[in-house]
Amino acid sequence: MSAKLPLILIVDDNPENLSVVGELLQPLCDVRVANSGPRALQLARSDPAPQLILLDVMMPGMDGFEVLAHLRADPTTRDIAVIFLSALSSEHDEARALAAGAVDYLSKPIRPAALLARIKTQIDAQTTRRQARETVAELRAQVQHLHGLLRVHEGSGPVSKTPDWLARQGGGPL
C-alpha cells in the first residue's frame, strides 16, 4: 500500500477481455483500458504514462504489431514494456512478437496466476533498473563533487576531462 500502484494499460478490441483482465488486475494496479490501437497510442502518450502495456495481437484496423511499431518509433513511448496477449498460440507468433520488442508473450485464455506473475516480474525489473539508475546518478554526483573539491585544492585551472571510468559509469542508458 505504501508504494504507488503500477499503471498498466490493457489493449484489446474485445470488451469481455478488457473486463476480465481489468477486474483481475484492478486490486493490484492502476488499470487503464483501450479498445483499439489508436486509442492505445493516445493513452500511452498521455501523462502519466503506463509502466506496462498488455497488448492484444489480433485487432481490427491497427493490430498489435503495428501498435508496437508505433510505440517503438516514438521516443516518449519507446521504453514502455509491452507484453503481448494473444489467442494465437503458435511459436511463430511468439517469436515474431519477441523479435518485435515485446518483453513477454502470453497466450489466451490467460491463466490469472501466470499473468500476475509475469506482470510482477516486469514491474520488479523496472523498479530495480530505476534504483540502479538512481544509485549511479548519486554516485556520479558524489564523484563530481569530489572532483570539484580536487580542483579547488589544486587550484591549477579546470580539470580537463572526466576520467574514463566516470564517463562509463554515468554515460548512456544502463
Mark the segment that binds another protein (CB under 8 A) among 7-15, 131-139, 152-160, 163-171: 7-15
Q: 53 near 83, Cβ under 8 Å? A: yes
Kindly state whether residue 53 participates in binding another protein, applying the rule CB under 8 A: no
- CB within 8 Å of 171: residues ≥ 6 apart: none
Q: How far is the CB of 140 from another protein (least distance, A)?
A: 28
Q: How far is the CB of 138 from another protein (least distance, A)?
A: 22
Q: In angstroms, rounded to a whole number, what is the distance separating the alpha carbons of residues 148 and 159?
A: 9
**Which grid cell sits at 169?**
559509469
Q: 11 near 67, Cβ under 8 Å? A: yes
Select the residue interacting with another protein from 113, 153, 164, 165 (CB under 8 A). 113
**Helix 15-25 × helix 112-154 angle, to 10°:** 60
Kindly state whether residue 148 participates in binding another protein, applying the rule CB under 8 A: no
Q: Which residues bind another protein (CB under 8 A)?
A: 1-2, 4-5, 9-10, 14-35, 39, 43, 46, 58, 87-91, 107-110, 112-113, 116-117, 120
